[in-house]
Structure 1
Amino acid sequence: MDTEIIREIDVQSVMTKSSLPVGGYSVNPYVGCPHACQYCYASFMKRFTGHTEPWGTFLDVKHWKPIADPHKYDGQRIVIGSVTDGYNPYEETFCRTRTLLKELRGTNAEIMICTKSDLVLRDLDLLKAFPKVTISWSVNTLDEQFRSDMDNAVSIERRLRAMKQVYDSGIRTVCFVSPIFPEITDVKAIIEEVKDYTDLIWLENLNLRGEFKVRIMNYICKNYPELFPLYEEIYNKKQNDYWQTLEANMALYAQANHLPYRINDLPFGRSVKGRPVVVNYFYHEKIKLNNGK
């Protein structure tokens, strides 16, 4: 781990009303993330925290007033890890996510965890006590070299092994295919790999903006020069043809393989084994996710 700057901070509350499409509450037991994903949109958080260090090199460990009444969140969706990974490697030492789960025991809120880690397996005992739990792993490649170029998280193999173990334990799982890198992310190959141990496949395209746009474009130019014209078309000329074609192809693929297909949705429940729900969660600048409905 390259993270060098670790500090412990006191906060009034760790629960924040969410502006995310999934709604409910957004909970981040840490500020910053040692995964240091090259494409991470959450790097914008530096503006609000006063950090000037490069993204991925700092971590603030939050200490909050204990949650006195978990029933306050009954019926809500609680998303853990919207702008940081609650199971980053330092969680093994600080146990802030585990502490949070202990404090939330008794609520009937829907718990949703977003991670790139297999450390979540440590907390299966707590997670099984909640009536509604979803654990989502980000997997946008099966190529370990590309993965290591993009993040410092655990290997894809470890993520998928954890996903299967959680699925087999009876907890609902999501494979978050995000971000989809044009002509690099093989969405169908990922679905074929995970379809027997995930309930939902959530598809999100790569958005390039801010400081990481130049970094990713330079990476593509150096490592995938044959794809650079395509990335220029998508990210500099703002053409949506690639995403429209991919959307159409994924709809046909889902239909041909008898996979339920949704647009901008997060249905709860277990799927038929081998037939996960495929959700089109593309963020396009000019394409409405719900087709105007």
Structure 2
Amino acid sequence: MDKYRGKELFIGSVTDPYNPQEETYLRTQTLLKELQGSGVKLTIQTKSDLVLRDIDLIKTFPDARVGFSINTLDDDFKNDMDQAVSIERRLTAMKQLHDAGIRTTCFIAPIFPGITDVEAIIDRVKDQCNLIWLENLNLRGSYKTDILGYIREKHPQLVPLYEEIYLRSNRLYWEVLNSTLHSYATEHKLDYVRNDDSMTRPFDAPPVVVNFFYHEEIKKSAKKGVK
């Protein structure tokens, strides 16, 4: 097991590790039990409060962090996007984990232009998480067609905005949002950065806000050594 010591393990980047099947088959719980004492740096990403079942188990990992995907406070919009548990249940689970001494993340992604109220979400979570991660909505392939169709059907007033962003590649919306959020973070004494250093900060410190807009470009720049 020493081969895992100090390495980072991210559970939930593709499939939610606490989907409904986990309640029956316990695959995530079994994996966590196998990794106990390994020294791995554990991050779990989920949309489910089922993670609370394993709170005592997660606490045995010294560098554990649990993130919740929350890109809206409106359950009607949430239900259009996924069938996971309600936003309120996610927020309650986040608070319980944080109160138990486990570092938590609010993953505000993807940010839907004109729909996701980023400031309202930060206001709601800033006292119960250590990291707030921001990522813009990227549309590719059939997903682009599906989402633009959804906007035309459910939010027709936003069609011009989405066409400007996703058909004409205009970044003005994201540039303005970045500036607005930077000002908001400054006003509320939150660090607004590109790189996550929240694990090195005191647990009770205010959360770090990480802007990961256009993340593919950020990754390419990092590989080239560009800051």
Identify whether the pair has TM-score above 0.5, normalized to the shorter chain: yes
**Structure 1 residues 177 and 125 mapped into 2: Cα distance closer, same or farther (>3 Å)?**
same
Aligned to 1:162: 93
Shift of 1:266: 4.9
RMSD, aligned CA: 1.9
Could you tell me how far apart the structure 1 residues matched to 2:200 and 2:90 are?
21
1:228 CA displacement? 0.6
Where 2:65 maps in the other structure, the secondary structure is: strand
In structure 2, the partner of 1:237 is 168
Instruction: Give 1:292 deviation, angstroms.
Output: 3.7
Corresponding residue for residue 187 of structure 2: 256
Q: Mark the CA change 1:192 to 1:180 in structure 2 (over 3 Å): closer, same or farther.
A: same
Question: 1:15-34 alignment to 2 at 5 Å?
Answer: none
How many residue pairs are counted as aligned between the two chains?
224
One of 116, 124, 144 as aligned partner of 1:193? 124
Q: Counterparts of 2:24 and 2:203 in 1: how far apart (Å)?
A: 37
1:116 aligned partner: 47
Question: Which shifted more, 208-217 or 85-94?
Answer: 208-217
Question: How far apart, in 2, do the equivalents of 1:101 and 1:131 lie?
Answer: 13
What is the percentage of aligned positions where both structures have the same residue?
57
Deviation at 1:72, TM superposition (A): 1.2
CA distance, structure 1, for counterparts of residue 48 and residue 191 of structure 2: 27
Compared CA separation, residues 101 and 136, structure 1 to 2 (3 A): same
Structure 2 CA distance for aligned equivalents of residues 105 and 283 of structure 1: 35
Alignment partner of 1:268: what SS? helix
- Matched with 1:11 is none
Q: Measured at CA, do residues 247 and 289 of structure 1 come closer, stay the same or move farther in structure 2, by a change above 3 Å?
A: farther
Cα distance in 1 for partners of 2:200, 2:80 equals 34
What is the identity, as a one-letter code, of the residue corresponding to 1:279? Answer: V
SS of residue paired to 2:51: helix
Name the residue aligned to 1:128.
59
Residue from 95, 100, 109 that aligns with 1:178: 109
Distance 1:106-1:90 versus aligned 2 partners, 3 A rule: same
CA contact (8 A) 2:135 2:215 kept: no
Contact 2:126 2:207 in 1 (8 A): yes
Amino acid at match of 1:217: L
CA shift at 1:284, angstroms? 5.9
More helix by share: 2
How far 1:272 moved relative to its partner?
6.2
Q: Is the Cα contact below 8 Å between 1:85 and 1:115 reproduced in 2?
A: yes
- Conserved 8 A contact 2:130-2:198: no
The alpha-carbon deviation at position 248 of structure 1 amounts to 1.3
Partner SS state of residue 93, structure 2: helix
- Of the structure 1 ranges 181-190 and 271-280, higher mean CA displacement relative to structure 2 is found in 271-280
Alignment correspondent of 1:23: none
**How far 1:256 moved relative to its partner?**
1.2
**Structure 1: 5+ residue stretches without partners:** 1-68
The CA distance in 2 between the partners of 1:134 and 1:229, in whole Å, is: 39
Query: What are the ranges of 5 or more consecutive residues in structure 2 without an aligned counterpart?
Result: none
C-alpha distance in structure 2 between counterparts of 1:162 and 1:272, whole Å: 18
